[in-house]
Amino acid sequence: MRVLLTRPQEDAGNFAEHLSRRGHQAISTPLLSVRFHDSEPLKLDGVQGILVTSANGIRALARLSERRDLPVFAVGPQTAREALAVGFARVEGANGDAAALAQALPRWAKAEAGALLHAAGAQGAGRLASLLAAKGYEVRTVILYDVVAAATLPEPAARALKEGSLDAALFFSPRSARVFRDCTLKAGLAAACARLLAVCISQAVASALSPLSFAEIRVAAAPSQAGMLGCLD
């Protein structure tokens, strides 16, 4: 299948390789781009561990601190792998979203052991802190990057939709789904979606595509890279 991959460029490469190994052709057209903040090196004194809710959080953190001795508590497998790749020795991973991470955290860290630093993006940074505050944790949220939405549909995506050469499209967040919806409607290409399979990482993502109509919308059984691949196959 020819598959539209809407992830940010930083996350698209590895997933495109997985698609290729399964016999699919990825058309990578990022709808969101990551802009890391330049700031002073992070001060991690008094912090018992680091919370990360995306691989970009780890990338941003690694740019601003050389410390790798603190444990990392990651939202999911991809984020955990990124933490290991940049040199963190202890990495614990949940298998889902911020709610799953908040639920799992008491197995790995006690509230009385010290503050947790959340290496976060500007969008949606508060939910994890709120969930953990209810459990008695102190969370220091540091905004390290922004995720900027495309104003128009990238040219490769627009061309493929016009030509009818796509079979499926993959959506990994409600925001990317909304950007695709808005840009597709703006370009007058909504009717082209009627031929496509839409694969969504969660029901919230699927809902964000409305009012676009697809040949089929599938929701991954698990909110992970493996869940998305399984859903596509």
Q: Where are the domains positioned within the chain?
A: 2-31+151-232, 35-147
What architecture (CATH level 2) is domain 35-147? 3-Layer(aba) Sandwich (3.40)
The sign one gets for the Cα dihedral 41, 47, 51, 55 is positive
Whether the pTM exceeds 0.75: the reply is yes
Q: Percentage of the chain surpassing pLDDT 70?
A: 100
Backbone angles phi, psi at 110, to 5 degrees: -100, 145
Buried b (16+ CB within 10 A) or exposed e, 151-169: eebbeebbebbeeeebbbb
pLDDT at residue 125 is higher than 80: no
Q: Percentage of the chain surpassing pLDDT 90?
A: 81
Q: Please give the average per-residue pLDDT across 170-183, as a whole number.
A: 95
pLDDT of residue 146: 93
Assigned CATH for 2-31+151-232: 3.40.50.10090
The pairing of strands 216-219 and 2-5 is unpaired
pLDDT of residue 190: 97
208-229, pLDDT tens digit by residue?
999 999 999 999 998 888 899 9
13-71, pLDDT tens digit by residue?
788 898 999 999 999 999 999 999 988 888 899 999 999 999 999 999 999 999 999 99
Residue 90 φ/ψ region, left for φ over 0, alpha for ψ in the -120 to 50 degree band, beta for the rest: beta
pLDDT at residue 151 is higher than 90: yes
- The rounded mean pLDDT for the chain is 93
Domains 2-31+151-232 and 35-147 share a fold: yes
Largest CA distance in the chain: 59
Rounded distance, CA 222 to CA 97, Å? 10
**Using 50, 70 and 90 to split pLDDT, how confident is the model at 78?**
confident
Task: Note the helical H segments in the chain.
Answer: 9-21, 55-64, 77-85, 98-104, 126-133, 155-163, 174-186, 203-208, 225-232
Q: If DSSP states are collapsed to H, E and C, what string results for 144-177?
A: EEEEEECCCCCHHHHHHHHHCCCCEEEECCHHHH
The pairing of strands 32-36 and 139-149 is antiparallel
Rounded distance, CA 105 to CA 138, Å? 13
